[in-house]
Amino acid sequence: MENQYLHEVAITAIIIKDGKYLITRRSPNKKRFPGKWTVPGGKMETNDYLALPKDTEFYWYNVLERTLKREVSEEVGLDIGNIEYITSLATVHEDGAPSLVISCAADMMGGEVKLQEGETDAFEWVTLEEAKGYDLLDGIYEEFVMTEKKRGGVKEEWRR
C-alpha cells in the first residue's frame, strides 16, 4: 500500500422507525458483498465539504453527518436525524483498498423508502429478532444489539 494514511471512509446508518430497523439487500451486480442484507450508507467524498464554506477559519464540521444524510437520501429516499455514533470497523477489500466504516444509528424523520437502482433491490423493516432470519453482512446484527442497548442507556464496544 503506497500511502498508509489513505483510507476510503464510509459511514452507515442503522435507521430506526417504531422500534424496527431498516435493512436493504445489496444488488447482485455489486462487486462487494452482492445479495447480502445491510444498512444504508456509503463513502465520504471530498465534495461533501470542499464545495462548502468552512465553519471556522480552518475546519468544516458535521462532515460525516452530512455525508450520511446524503447517502441515506440517495440510497433509500429517507430523511434522518438524531445521528449517534455506534462503532467503527476497518477492512482491506479484495481489490486492496483499505476501508474505514463509521457505524451510526439515526431516527427516520421523514420520507418513504425509495431504493436507488443498481445499489439495492429490496428492503425490510425488522425487529432485532426478525433480523436473525436474514443473510446480513458480518457484524451488522451485533451493531443492532449495540444500538438497542445504547438506546436503553447501556454503552459498550462491539464484541461477539
Domains and CATH numbers, the chain: 8-145 (3.90.79.10)
Q: What are the residue ranges in the chain where pLDDT is below 70?
A: 1-3
Q: pLDDT digits over 53-81, tens only? A: 999 999 999 999 999 999 999 999 999 99
Number of Cβ within 10 Å of residue 77's Cβ equals 15
Convert 94-115 to b/e letters by CB count within 10 Å (16 or more is b).
eeeeeeebbbbbbebeeeebeb
CA distances from 75 to 42, 69, 131, 156 (A): 9, 10, 20, 29
Residue 67 exposed, middle or buried by CB count within 10 Å (0-12, 13-18, 19+): buried
Euclidean distance between CA atoms 84 and 50, whole angstroms: 24
pLDDT number for residue 31: 84
Q: Look at residue 122 in the predicted model and tell me its pLDDT.
A: 97
| Size of the chain in residues | 160
| Model pLDDT, residue 123 | 98
- Which amino acid appears at position 15 of this protein? I
The residues facing 105 across adjacent strands are 14, 84
Give the pTM: 0.91
Q: How far apart are CA 44 and CA 106, in angstroms?
A: 17
